[in-house]
Structure 1
Amino acid sequence: MKRYLGARIIIACRNLHKGHQATDKLLVETGVNKNNIRLMECDLCSLESVRTFVKLYNEEEERLDILICNARLSWSSPIMTKDGFNVVIQANYLGHFLLTNLLLDKLKKCRPSRIINVSSELHDSIQSINWSDIFTQFRNPHWHGAYPSSKLFQILSTFKLKRDLFAEHIDVFSLTPGWFSTSLSGSSANTISWFAYSLYHPFVRCLKFVFVKTPEIGVHTVVYCAVEPTLEQSHGLYFQNCTVSRPSSLASDQILAERLWKMSLEAVGL
């Protein structure tokens, strides 16, 4: 943990107004040196924005020790990004897929380094995938399974990176932070789908007060995977509540991971 004290934090976000609010709050609550925090624009729903961010980052920042990929757009009205993808799939998966691949050289220069993919328990609600139709689904704005599928894809890509980066001293982890509330979005859809929420809204409201985590507790597993020294060389593990957990059998399928990787490379133009 001492290795990361005084670390430089880069907050990459689409909404700079909310980013400034988060940065100001971080400065007040932690007392961190303001020179160690930088806010940069990066819209995961625009592949061009991701590329622009990476170019600027590589030009102006010397190091990248820990990359945390966290987006939790859980539902929306049927929207396509300007790149032609389902907005949930691009925000939660394809945007981070491109970001990670473009930053790999920087991570290799700073090894030992880490990649953290923040997924969700909901990934295990996907029991099968029609791979002959998956590329079409990427571009389907009405795909109701987009959120859990995006979180499944994050874990599959983690297993693929695990094999590719085994000799590179870059540790890759995926995790679920659980269900927690934030001032930005009301509640995280990490343990309940938008469909279930719409059906059981009053009941869920009651359960929320019993089972919901605070943001401070919700982030524990993220921080653990980012800085826990005993996890070095523990490639590809999936965590829940700061302990190793078992993802769905589908999320652990190496053949599926390879197929998804090839399709994703084509989708983002790599």
Structure 2
Amino acid sequence: MTAAARRTPPLLPMLTVALIAVLLYLPLMLWANYGPAARALANGADLGCPTALACATQLRNPVLPSPGQLANGFRALSLPPTSELSVPYNAVVTGGETLLGLGLAIVVGLVLAVLLVLSRSFERATLPWLVASQTVPIVAIAPMLAVLLGQYGVQGFLPKALIAGFIAFFPVAVGMSRGLRSPDALQQDLLATYSASSAQTFRFLRFPASLPYLFTALKVAATAALVGSIVAEISTISFSGLGKMLAENSRASDTIALWVIMIYGAVLGVVLVALVGLAERLLTPWKAKA
């Protein structure tokens, strides 16, 4: 890493992109809403504004809400934050399902990765089926899994977490198996000269070498688990969660609320990836010094 790169604050590139997005948002919002506003005025609708350009910021269900509409939407859907009808409360529910699903995915993914590395026969027999499992539409499998688990009394929080884990385990398994195979032959031969067992090779060589691969996979898995939780909430009977709010407001055609919920979901995804990044810095300090 160069000295100039070290001096650059890590948030500066992200804030630069955010500033560009803010500057582009207003013209994009006016362009997206101008057509619907012009058509509504041409059909004789009373929008309370004289021109299509003026109405572009005041549509009841805009394509892109104006900054004022977004602010009002955030205020209406965020306060009080502990209310079961607020987005923060439901975001916490979805976040909990996602974290539990990610935890399940880590356990399953690590076990599969070790088996894939230890046995070529196991890899040849199971890897095609693992790939095939990820091609099943989650919208179809979520209600089926919920019904199956419901027969055994498993309801509420856990089915969504299981569905999230089902989506997230594959990148963990593939990334970890790639990391476990990353040590070169010379490193393995060195341990062999010290009569290291397979377990010692895994502990002192393969596992430490695989951690950067694992955390890269976990960042992908965290976002996949979040999507899985939201889709599971939409596809099954849910009483809370971002997916439940998205489904309700979609049926009500409340586009401003949909935008607010989607922004909360995006922020939740960023937080989850940031938590994985924090764990990576704590557990792989040698990588930060490289």
Query: Same-fold call, TM > 0.5?
Result: no
Structure that is richer in helix per residue: 2
Structure that is richer in strand per residue: 1
Q: Which has the larger radius of gyration?
A: 2
Q: Taking CA–CA contacts closer than 8 Å with sequence separation of 6 or more, which of the two structures ends up with the larger relative contact order?
A: 2
TM-score by length of 2: 0.22
TM-score by length of 1: 0.24
